[in-house]
Structure 1
Amino acid sequence: MTVPAELLERARAARSITVLTGAGMSAESGVPTFRDVQTGLWAKYDPMTLATPEAWREDPALVWAWYQRRCAMLLAVQPNAGHRALADWGQKADVRIVTQNVDDLHERAGSSGVVHVHGSLRTPRCDTCWTVHTVEVVEPDSERVQPSSCECGGLVRPGVVWFGEALPEDAWNAAADAAASCDLMLVVGTSSIVYPAAGLPRIAMEFGVFVAEINPERTDLSRAVDVHWESTAATGLPRLLEAI
Protein backbone atom coordinates (compact mmCIF):
# COMPACT_ATOMS: atom_id res chain seq x y z
CA MET A 1 0.00 0.00 0.00
CA THR A 2 1.53 3.26 -1.17
CA VAL A 3 1.22 6.46 0.83
CA PRO A 4 -0.44 9.20 -1.28
CA ALA A 5 2.33 11.42 -2.60
CA GLU A 6 0.80 14.72 -1.51
CA LEU A 7 0.18 13.42 2.02
CA LEU A 8 3.76 12.20 2.27
CA GLU A 9 5.10 15.54 1.06
CA ARG A 10 3.00 17.46 3.58
CA ALA A 11 3.90 15.11 6.43
CA ARG A 12 7.62 15.51 5.76
CA ALA A 13 7.34 19.30 5.72
CA ALA A 14 4.92 19.75 8.63
CA ARG A 15 6.24 21.39 11.76
CA SER A 16 3.18 20.44 13.80
CA ILE A 17 0.69 17.64 13.24
CA THR A 18 -2.70 17.13 14.85
CA VAL A 19 -4.30 13.70 14.68
CA LEU A 20 -8.02 13.25 15.36
CA THR A 21 -8.86 9.63 16.09
CA GLY A 22 -12.17 7.81 16.35
CA ALA A 23 -13.57 4.35 16.99
CA GLY A 24 -11.82 2.87 13.95
CA MET A 25 -8.48 3.65 15.58
CA SER A 26 -9.17 1.23 18.43
CA ALA A 27 -11.34 -1.28 16.57
CA GLU A 28 -8.27 -3.14 15.33
CA SER A 29 -7.21 -3.67 18.94
CA GLY A 30 -10.51 -5.38 19.66
CA VAL A 31 -11.83 -2.71 22.02
CA PRO A 32 -15.27 -3.85 23.19
CA THR A 33 -18.30 -1.98 21.91
CA PHE A 34 -21.50 -1.32 23.85
CA ARG A 35 -22.88 -4.53 22.41
CA ASP A 36 -19.91 -6.57 23.62
CA VAL A 37 -20.62 -5.50 27.19
CA GLN A 38 -24.28 -6.48 26.98
CA THR A 39 -23.79 -10.14 27.88
CA GLY A 40 -24.38 -12.16 31.01
CA LEU A 41 -25.74 -10.04 33.86
CA TRP A 42 -26.16 -7.00 31.61
CA ALA A 43 -27.92 -8.67 28.68
CA LYS A 44 -31.29 -7.30 29.82
CA TYR A 45 -30.16 -3.68 29.87
CA ASP A 46 -30.14 -1.18 27.02
CA PRO A 47 -26.64 0.39 27.05
CA MET A 48 -28.08 3.68 25.82
CA THR A 49 -30.02 3.96 29.08
CA LEU A 50 -26.93 3.32 31.22
CA ALA A 51 -24.79 6.06 29.67
CA THR A 52 -26.81 9.02 30.93
CA PRO A 53 -26.79 11.37 33.94
CA GLU A 54 -30.35 10.24 34.66
CA ALA A 55 -29.27 6.60 34.99
CA TRP A 56 -26.51 7.62 37.40
CA ARG A 57 -28.89 9.58 39.60
CA GLU A 58 -31.41 6.73 39.62
CA ASP A 59 -29.05 3.78 40.18
CA PRO A 60 -25.34 4.66 40.51
CA ALA A 61 -24.38 1.15 41.66
CA LEU A 62 -25.77 -0.37 38.46
CA VAL A 63 -24.02 2.16 36.22
CA TRP A 64 -20.74 1.85 38.12
CA ALA A 65 -20.75 -1.95 37.81
CA TRP A 66 -21.44 -1.74 34.09
CA TYR A 67 -18.55 0.67 33.55
CA GLN A 68 -16.24 -1.43 35.72
CA ARG A 69 -16.96 -4.29 33.35
CA ARG A 70 -16.09 -2.08 30.37
CA CYS A 71 -12.82 -1.08 32.04
CA ALA A 72 -11.96 -4.71 32.79
CA MET A 73 -12.60 -5.65 29.16
CA LEU A 74 -10.42 -2.74 28.02
CA LEU A 75 -7.49 -3.98 30.10
CA ALA A 76 -7.57 -7.22 28.12
CA VAL A 77 -6.68 -5.51 24.82
CA GLN A 78 -3.47 -3.88 23.65
CA PRO A 79 -2.50 -0.87 21.49
CA ASN A 80 -2.20 -1.73 17.81
CA ALA A 81 0.43 -0.75 15.27
CA GLY A 82 -1.39 2.51 14.56
CA HIS A 83 -1.25 3.62 18.19
CA ARG A 84 2.43 2.71 18.37
CA ALA A 85 3.23 4.56 15.12
CA LEU A 86 1.71 7.78 16.47
CA ALA A 87 3.64 7.38 19.72
CA ASP A 88 6.89 6.87 17.80
CA TRP A 89 6.15 9.85 15.56
CA GLY A 90 5.54 11.95 18.64
CA GLN A 91 9.10 11.25 19.77
CA LYS A 92 10.45 12.87 16.60
CA ALA A 93 7.95 15.63 15.82
CA ASP A 94 5.27 17.85 17.35
CA VAL A 95 2.33 15.44 17.16
CA ARG A 96 -0.79 16.30 19.11
CA ILE A 97 -3.47 13.65 19.46
CA VAL A 98 -7.14 14.48 19.93
CA THR A 99 -9.33 11.44 20.40
CA GLN A 100 -13.03 10.73 20.55
CA ASN A 101 -12.26 7.38 22.17
CA VAL A 102 -12.67 6.82 25.89
CA ASP A 103 -9.97 4.13 26.07
CA ASP A 104 -6.35 4.76 27.05
CA LEU A 105 -4.63 2.91 24.21
CA HIS A 106 -2.83 6.01 22.95
CA GLU A 107 -1.28 6.53 26.38
CA ARG A 108 -0.42 2.86 26.77
CA ALA A 109 1.35 3.00 23.41
CA GLY A 110 3.52 5.84 24.70
CA SER A 111 1.76 9.04 23.56
CA SER A 112 1.51 11.90 26.05
CA GLY A 113 -0.76 14.90 26.34
CA VAL A 114 -3.65 13.13 24.61
CA VAL A 115 -6.81 15.25 24.53
CA HIS A 116 -9.94 13.18 25.27
CA VAL A 117 -12.90 15.21 24.05
CA HIS A 118 -15.36 12.54 25.25
CA GLY A 119 -13.58 11.82 28.51
CA SER A 120 -11.77 8.64 29.51
CA LEU A 121 -12.76 5.41 31.21
CA ARG A 122 -9.48 5.50 33.15
CA THR A 123 -10.05 8.91 34.80
CA PRO A 124 -13.10 8.53 37.07
CA ARG A 125 -14.08 11.69 38.89
CA CYS A 126 -16.37 12.98 41.60
CA ASP A 127 -19.89 13.76 40.44
CA THR A 128 -19.99 16.81 42.70
CA CYS A 129 -16.58 18.51 42.88
CA TRP A 130 -15.12 16.91 39.70
CA THR A 131 -11.92 15.77 41.43
CA VAL A 132 -10.21 12.97 39.47
CA HIS A 133 -9.77 9.73 41.43
CA THR A 134 -7.66 6.61 41.01
CA VAL A 135 -9.85 3.53 41.29
CA GLU A 136 -8.85 -0.11 41.00
CA VAL A 137 -10.53 -1.89 38.11
CA VAL A 138 -12.24 -5.06 39.30
CA GLU A 139 -14.43 -7.30 37.15
CA PRO A 140 -17.81 -7.12 38.93
CA ASP A 141 -19.45 -10.37 39.98
CA SER A 142 -22.87 -8.79 40.37
CA GLU A 143 -24.88 -6.20 38.48
CA ARG A 144 -24.47 -3.60 41.18
CA VAL A 145 -21.28 -2.30 42.79
CA GLN A 146 -21.38 0.67 45.12
CA PRO A 147 -19.10 3.46 43.81
CA SER A 148 -16.53 5.06 46.09
CA SER A 149 -17.23 8.30 47.89
CA CYS A 150 -15.24 11.49 47.48
CA GLU A 151 -14.00 13.55 50.43
CA CYS A 152 -16.60 16.17 49.51
CA GLY A 153 -19.42 13.64 49.94
CA GLY A 154 -20.07 13.06 46.27
CA LEU A 155 -19.79 9.75 44.44
CA VAL A 156 -16.96 8.75 42.10
CA ARG A 157 -18.46 8.32 38.61
CA PRO A 158 -17.02 7.18 35.28
CA GLY A 159 -14.91 9.88 33.64
CA VAL A 160 -16.69 9.73 30.29
CA VAL A 161 -19.08 12.20 28.68
CA TRP A 162 -22.59 10.78 28.83
CA PHE A 163 -25.39 11.34 26.38
CA GLY A 164 -26.92 14.73 27.10
CA GLU A 165 -23.74 16.16 28.68
CA ALA A 166 -21.54 18.92 27.28
CA LEU A 167 -17.96 18.20 26.31
CA PRO A 168 -15.33 19.21 28.89
CA GLU A 169 -14.55 22.86 28.15
CA ASP A 170 -10.80 22.55 28.68
CA ALA A 171 -10.55 19.49 26.42
CA TRP A 172 -12.64 21.12 23.70
CA ASN A 173 -10.59 24.33 23.78
CA ALA A 174 -7.36 22.33 23.56
CA ALA A 175 -8.75 20.30 20.64
CA ALA A 176 -9.93 23.37 18.75
CA ASP A 177 -6.57 25.07 19.27
CA ALA A 178 -4.74 21.96 18.05
CA ALA A 179 -6.92 21.91 14.93
CA ALA A 180 -6.40 25.58 14.15
CA SER A 181 -2.68 25.84 14.82
CA CYS A 182 -1.21 22.79 13.07
CA ASP A 183 0.34 22.44 9.59
CA LEU A 184 -1.21 19.03 8.93
CA MET A 185 -4.29 17.33 10.32
CA LEU A 186 -4.94 13.60 10.04
CA VAL A 187 -8.47 12.34 10.63
CA VAL A 188 -8.14 8.65 11.44
CA GLY A 189 -10.85 6.04 11.89
CA THR A 190 -13.76 8.36 12.59
CA SER A 191 -17.15 8.42 10.91
CA SER A 192 -17.17 12.23 11.14
CA ILE A 193 -20.84 12.31 12.15
CA VAL A 194 -20.60 12.84 15.92
CA TYR A 195 -20.62 16.56 16.66
CA PRO A 196 -19.11 18.75 17.92
CA ALA A 197 -15.93 16.65 17.55
CA ALA A 198 -16.69 16.07 13.87
CA GLY A 199 -16.39 19.82 13.37
CA LEU A 200 -12.68 19.90 14.26
CA PRO A 201 -11.48 19.16 10.68
CA ARG A 202 -13.68 22.03 9.47
CA ILE A 203 -11.96 24.34 11.95
CA ALA A 204 -8.60 23.24 10.56
CA MET A 205 -9.76 23.89 6.99
CA GLU A 206 -10.90 27.39 7.93
CA PHE A 207 -7.32 28.13 9.00
CA GLY A 208 -5.87 26.76 5.78
CA VAL A 209 -4.58 23.51 7.28
CA PHE A 210 -3.99 20.55 4.95
CA VAL A 211 -6.40 17.83 6.08
CA ALA A 212 -6.02 14.15 5.21
CA GLU A 213 -8.50 11.41 6.08
CA ILE A 214 -7.31 7.85 6.73
CA ASN A 215 -10.29 5.54 6.69
CA PRO A 216 -11.10 2.30 4.83
CA GLU A 217 -14.51 3.76 3.97
CA ARG A 218 -15.60 7.13 2.69
CA THR A 219 -17.40 9.41 5.13
CA ASP A 220 -19.32 12.68 5.09
CA LEU A 221 -15.94 14.42 5.35
CA SER A 222 -14.24 12.65 2.44
CA ARG A 223 -15.26 15.13 -0.27
CA ALA A 224 -14.04 18.10 1.74
CA VAL A 225 -10.54 16.91 2.71
CA ASP A 226 -7.41 17.40 0.66
CA VAL A 227 -6.61 13.69 0.60
CA HIS A 228 -8.70 10.61 1.39
CA TRP A 229 -6.56 7.51 1.87
CA GLU A 230 -8.42 4.21 1.98
CA SER A 231 -6.51 2.48 4.73
CA THR A 232 -6.97 1.38 8.31
CA ALA A 233 -5.10 3.00 11.16
CA ALA A 234 -3.00 -0.05 11.97
CA THR A 235 -1.88 -0.36 8.35
CA GLY A 236 -1.67 3.21 7.12
CA LEU A 237 -0.02 5.01 10.03
CA PRO A 238 3.02 2.69 10.23
CA ARG A 239 3.43 2.97 6.45
CA LEU A 240 3.29 6.75 6.64
CA LEU A 241 5.82 6.94 9.46
CA GLU A 242 8.16 4.53 7.65
CA ALA A 243 7.95 6.59 4.45
CA ILE A 244 8.69 9.84 6.29
Structure 2
Amino acid sequence: MGWVLIRPVTAYNLTVEMNAIRSLISYFPYITIRAEYVDVVSALGRRKNLPPPANRYKLAKAMVDGLDVFQLGITLCDHNGRLPVTVAPDGSDAESAWQVAFSDFDPGGHMESPAGVPAAAFARALLEHGIVSAENRGRLTWVAFGGLYDFGFLLKLLSSGAPLPETGEGFARMLRRYLGNVYDAKYVASRLPVAVGVDLSGGLVSVARLLGAPAVAVEEPRQAGEKSLVACEVFMRMTGLFFAYHDVAVHLGMIDGVH
Protein backbone atom coordinates (compact mmCIF):
# COMPACT_ATOMS: atom_id res chain seq x y z
CA MET A 1 0.00 0.00 0.00
CA GLY A 2 1.41 3.35 -1.04
CA TRP A 3 0.04 6.84 -0.67
CA VAL A 4 -3.66 6.92 0.23
CA LEU A 5 -5.93 9.83 -0.66
CA ILE A 6 -8.14 10.99 2.23
CA ARG A 7 -11.23 12.36 0.52
CA PRO A 8 -12.84 15.23 2.47
CA VAL A 9 -16.62 15.04 2.92
CA THR A 10 -18.28 18.41 3.50
CA ALA A 11 -21.72 19.93 3.20
CA TYR A 12 -20.95 20.73 -0.43
CA ASN A 13 -20.07 17.23 -1.64
CA LEU A 14 -21.93 14.98 0.81
CA THR A 15 -24.27 13.48 -1.79
CA VAL A 16 -21.49 12.85 -4.31
CA GLU A 17 -19.24 11.11 -1.79
CA MET A 18 -22.04 9.07 -0.26
CA ASN A 19 -23.04 7.91 -3.74
CA ALA A 20 -19.43 6.85 -4.26
CA ILE A 21 -19.34 4.92 -0.99
CA ARG A 22 -22.66 3.25 -1.78
CA SER A 23 -21.35 2.12 -5.18
CA LEU A 24 -18.23 0.62 -3.58
CA ILE A 25 -19.51 -1.28 -0.55
CA SER A 26 -20.56 -4.32 -2.58
CA TYR A 27 -16.91 -4.82 -3.52
CA PHE A 28 -15.37 -3.42 -0.33
CA PRO A 29 -17.70 -4.67 2.43
CA TYR A 30 -15.49 -3.86 5.43
CA ILE A 31 -16.13 -0.37 6.82
CA THR A 32 -13.69 0.89 9.45
CA ILE A 33 -14.61 4.08 11.29
CA ARG A 34 -12.86 6.46 13.65
CA ALA A 35 -14.58 9.32 15.49
CA GLU A 36 -12.56 12.28 16.75
CA TYR A 37 -14.00 14.12 19.73
CA VAL A 38 -12.80 17.11 21.68
CA ASP A 39 -9.60 16.58 23.69
CA VAL A 40 -11.39 15.50 26.88
CA VAL A 41 -12.30 12.16 25.31
CA SER A 42 -8.73 11.54 24.24
CA ALA A 43 -7.60 12.31 27.78
CA LEU A 44 -10.24 10.30 29.63
CA GLY A 45 -11.94 7.89 27.32
CA ARG A 46 -9.05 6.25 25.48
CA ARG A 47 -6.49 6.16 28.28
CA LYS A 48 -4.67 2.91 29.05
CA ASN A 49 -5.45 2.48 32.76
CA LEU A 50 -9.21 2.18 32.83
CA PRO A 51 -11.85 1.04 35.36
CA PRO A 52 -13.84 -2.20 34.98
CA PRO A 53 -16.07 -2.54 31.90
CA ALA A 54 -19.30 -1.51 33.67
CA ASN A 55 -17.75 1.75 34.85
CA ARG A 56 -15.99 2.28 31.53
CA TYR A 57 -19.30 2.04 29.74
CA LYS A 58 -20.89 4.58 32.09
CA LEU A 59 -18.01 6.97 31.40
CA ALA A 60 -18.28 6.45 27.65
CA LYS A 61 -22.06 6.91 27.72
CA ALA A 62 -21.72 10.21 29.57
CA MET A 63 -19.13 11.43 27.08
CA VAL A 64 -21.02 10.36 23.97
CA ASP A 65 -24.35 11.65 25.25
CA GLY A 66 -22.88 15.03 26.15
CA LEU A 67 -20.41 15.75 23.35
CA ASP A 68 -20.30 16.04 19.59
CA VAL A 69 -17.59 14.86 17.23
CA PHE A 70 -15.82 17.04 14.72
CA GLN A 71 -14.51 14.33 12.35
CA LEU A 72 -15.40 10.81 11.29
CA GLY A 73 -12.92 8.72 9.33
CA ILE A 74 -14.22 6.01 7.00
CA THR A 75 -12.06 3.37 5.31
CA LEU A 76 -13.46 0.68 3.05
CA CYS A 77 -11.61 -2.50 2.13
CA ASP A 78 -12.24 -5.95 0.70
CA HIS A 79 -11.59 -9.34 2.32
CA ASN A 80 -7.89 -9.06 1.45
CA GLY A 81 -7.47 -5.54 2.81
CA ARG A 82 -7.42 -3.85 -0.60
CA LEU A 83 -8.75 -0.30 -0.69
CA PRO A 84 -11.02 1.23 -3.34
CA VAL A 85 -9.42 3.38 -6.02
CA THR A 86 -10.95 6.75 -6.89
CA VAL A 87 -9.91 9.67 -9.08
CA ALA A 88 -7.71 12.17 -7.24
CA PRO A 89 -7.99 15.95 -7.80
CA ASP A 90 -5.03 15.81 -10.22
CA GLY A 91 -6.82 13.19 -12.33
CA SER A 92 -4.70 10.24 -11.23
CA ASP A 93 -6.01 7.05 -9.66
CA ALA A 94 -5.48 6.74 -5.91
CA GLU A 95 -6.38 4.31 -3.16
CA SER A 96 -8.83 6.23 -1.02
CA ALA A 97 -10.48 6.68 2.36
CA TRP A 98 -12.86 9.39 3.59
CA GLN A 99 -13.03 12.00 6.33
CA VAL A 100 -16.30 13.69 7.27
CA ALA A 101 -16.09 17.17 8.80
CA PHE A 102 -19.06 17.95 11.04
CA SER A 103 -20.58 21.33 11.77
CA ASP A 104 -21.93 20.24 15.17
CA PHE A 105 -19.66 21.00 18.09
CA ASP A 106 -20.25 21.03 21.82
CA PRO A 107 -21.41 24.39 23.26
CA GLY A 108 -18.15 24.89 25.15
CA GLY A 109 -16.75 27.46 22.80
CA HIS A 110 -15.56 25.36 19.85
CA MET A 111 -15.94 27.05 16.49
CA GLU A 112 -18.28 25.46 13.99
CA SER A 113 -16.89 24.29 10.67
CA PRO A 114 -18.53 26.45 7.99
CA ALA A 115 -18.36 23.67 5.39
CA GLY A 116 -19.11 20.91 7.86
CA VAL A 117 -21.92 18.39 7.56
CA PRO A 118 -24.72 18.56 10.16
CA ALA A 119 -24.80 15.24 12.02
CA ALA A 120 -28.50 14.81 11.23
CA ALA A 121 -27.83 15.25 7.51
CA PHE A 122 -25.08 12.65 7.60
CA ALA A 123 -27.35 10.19 9.42
CA ARG A 124 -30.04 10.70 6.78
CA ALA A 125 -27.46 10.11 4.06
CA LEU A 126 -26.33 6.82 5.63
CA LEU A 127 -29.92 5.61 5.71
CA GLU A 128 -31.13 7.03 2.39
CA HIS A 129 -28.15 5.62 0.51
CA GLY A 130 -28.69 2.23 2.12
CA ILE A 131 -25.26 2.09 3.73
CA VAL A 132 -27.01 1.40 7.02
CA SER A 133 -30.00 -0.75 6.11
CA ALA A 134 -31.67 -4.07 6.79
CA GLU A 135 -30.45 -5.27 3.39
CA ASN A 136 -26.80 -4.58 4.21
CA ARG A 137 -26.90 -5.59 7.88
CA GLY A 138 -25.62 -9.06 7.11
CA ARG A 139 -23.47 -8.11 4.13
CA LEU A 140 -21.25 -5.43 5.63
CA THR A 141 -18.74 -5.69 8.47
CA TRP A 142 -18.10 -2.63 10.63
CA VAL A 143 -14.73 -2.25 12.36
CA ALA A 144 -13.20 0.19 14.85
CA PHE A 145 -10.23 0.20 17.22
CA GLY A 146 -11.35 0.89 20.77
CA GLY A 147 -14.77 1.20 19.23
CA LEU A 148 -16.87 2.08 22.26
CA TYR A 149 -16.69 5.78 21.40
CA ASP A 150 -16.64 5.36 17.62
CA PHE A 151 -19.65 3.07 17.51
CA GLY A 152 -21.28 5.05 20.30
CA PHE A 153 -21.20 8.20 18.21
CA LEU A 154 -22.56 6.35 15.19
CA LEU A 155 -25.46 4.96 17.22
CA LYS A 156 -26.19 8.39 18.68
CA LEU A 157 -26.22 9.81 15.19
CA LEU A 158 -28.47 7.07 13.75
CA SER A 159 -30.93 7.37 16.65
CA SER A 160 -31.39 11.13 16.12
CA GLY A 161 -29.25 12.08 19.09
CA ALA A 162 -30.97 9.84 21.63
CA PRO A 163 -28.93 8.89 24.74
CA LEU A 164 -27.07 5.61 24.54
CA PRO A 165 -28.59 2.61 26.36
CA GLU A 166 -28.08 2.49 30.12
CA THR A 167 -26.04 -0.71 30.06
CA GLY A 168 -23.28 -2.22 27.98
CA GLU A 169 -25.55 -5.14 27.16
CA GLY A 170 -28.13 -2.73 25.76
CA PHE A 171 -25.41 -1.01 23.77
CA ALA A 172 -24.32 -4.32 22.23
CA ARG A 173 -27.92 -5.15 21.28
CA MET A 174 -28.35 -1.73 19.68
CA LEU A 175 -25.16 -2.24 17.68
CA ARG A 176 -26.44 -5.55 16.33
CA ARG A 177 -29.79 -4.02 15.47
CA TYR A 178 -28.34 -1.14 13.47
CA LEU A 179 -25.08 -2.50 12.05
CA GLY A 180 -25.13 -6.29 12.29
CA ASN A 181 -21.54 -7.54 12.01
CA VAL A 182 -19.22 -5.50 14.23
CA TYR A 183 -15.60 -6.00 15.33
CA ASP A 184 -13.48 -4.02 17.74
CA ALA A 185 -9.86 -4.48 16.64
CA LYS A 186 -8.62 -3.41 20.07
CA TYR A 187 -10.65 -6.17 21.72
CA VAL A 188 -9.33 -8.70 19.20
CA ALA A 189 -5.74 -7.51 19.75
CA SER A 190 -6.07 -7.73 23.52
CA ARG A 191 -7.10 -11.39 23.24
CA LEU A 192 -4.19 -12.41 21.03
CA PRO A 193 -1.48 -12.72 23.76
CA VAL A 194 -3.21 -15.79 25.18
CA ALA A 195 -3.73 -17.32 21.77
CA VAL A 196 -0.47 -16.64 19.95
CA GLY A 197 2.03 -15.35 22.50
CA VAL A 198 2.28 -11.74 21.31
CA ASP A 199 1.51 -8.56 23.21
CA LEU A 200 -0.77 -6.31 21.17
CA SER A 201 -2.47 -4.66 24.14
CA GLY A 202 -1.29 -1.12 23.37
CA GLY A 203 -2.88 1.79 21.57
CA LEU A 204 -3.65 2.09 17.88
CA VAL A 205 -0.26 3.39 16.75
CA SER A 206 1.84 1.00 18.84
CA VAL A 207 -0.17 -2.02 17.68
CA ALA A 208 0.02 -0.84 14.08
CA ARG A 209 3.79 -0.50 14.30
CA LEU A 210 4.18 -3.94 15.83
CA LEU A 211 2.17 -5.36 12.95
CA GLY A 212 4.08 -3.35 10.33
CA ALA A 213 1.05 -1.40 9.13
CA PRO A 214 2.31 0.88 6.32
CA ALA A 215 0.14 3.87 7.22
CA VAL A 216 2.27 4.58 10.31
CA ALA A 217 5.62 3.92 8.65
CA VAL A 218 6.27 7.61 7.97
CA GLU A 219 4.47 9.53 10.71
CA GLU A 220 1.82 9.15 13.37
CA PRO A 221 -1.74 9.60 12.06
CA ARG A 222 -3.33 12.81 13.30
CA GLN A 223 -6.85 13.01 11.89
CA ALA A 224 -9.87 10.73 11.77
CA GLY A 225 -9.44 9.66 8.15
CA GLU A 226 -5.83 8.61 8.72
CA LYS A 227 -6.72 6.82 11.95
CA SER A 228 -9.54 4.87 10.33
CA LEU A 229 -7.04 3.76 7.69
CA VAL A 230 -4.60 2.57 10.36
CA ALA A 231 -7.39 0.78 12.26
CA CYS A 232 -8.40 -0.95 9.03
CA GLU A 233 -4.82 -2.09 8.42
CA VAL A 234 -4.51 -3.35 12.00
CA PHE A 235 -7.67 -5.45 11.76
CA MET A 236 -6.86 -6.91 8.36
CA ARG A 237 -3.27 -7.71 9.34
CA MET A 238 -4.39 -9.43 12.54
CA THR A 239 -6.94 -11.55 10.71
CA GLY A 240 -4.38 -12.44 8.05
CA LEU A 241 -1.55 -13.24 10.46
CA PHE A 242 -3.30 -14.84 13.41
CA PHE A 243 -6.59 -16.22 12.12
CA ALA A 244 -5.43 -18.20 9.11
CA TYR A 245 -6.54 -21.47 10.69
CA HIS A 246 -9.51 -20.38 12.79
CA ASP A 247 -12.26 -17.84 12.49
CA VAL A 248 -12.05 -14.31 13.87
CA ALA A 249 -15.85 -14.50 14.22
CA VAL A 250 -15.32 -15.77 17.77
CA HIS A 251 -14.84 -12.06 18.58
CA LEU A 252 -17.85 -10.84 16.60
CA GLY A 253 -19.75 -8.13 18.49
CA MET A 254 -17.25 -7.95 21.35
CA ILE A 255 -16.41 -4.33 22.26
CA ASP A 256 -13.46 -3.25 24.39
CA GLY A 257 -14.87 -1.57 27.49
CA VAL A 258 -18.15 -3.50 27.30
CA HIS A 259 -17.06 -7.15 27.31
TM-score by length of 2: 0.28
Bigger CA radius of gyration: 1
TM-score by length of 1: 0.29
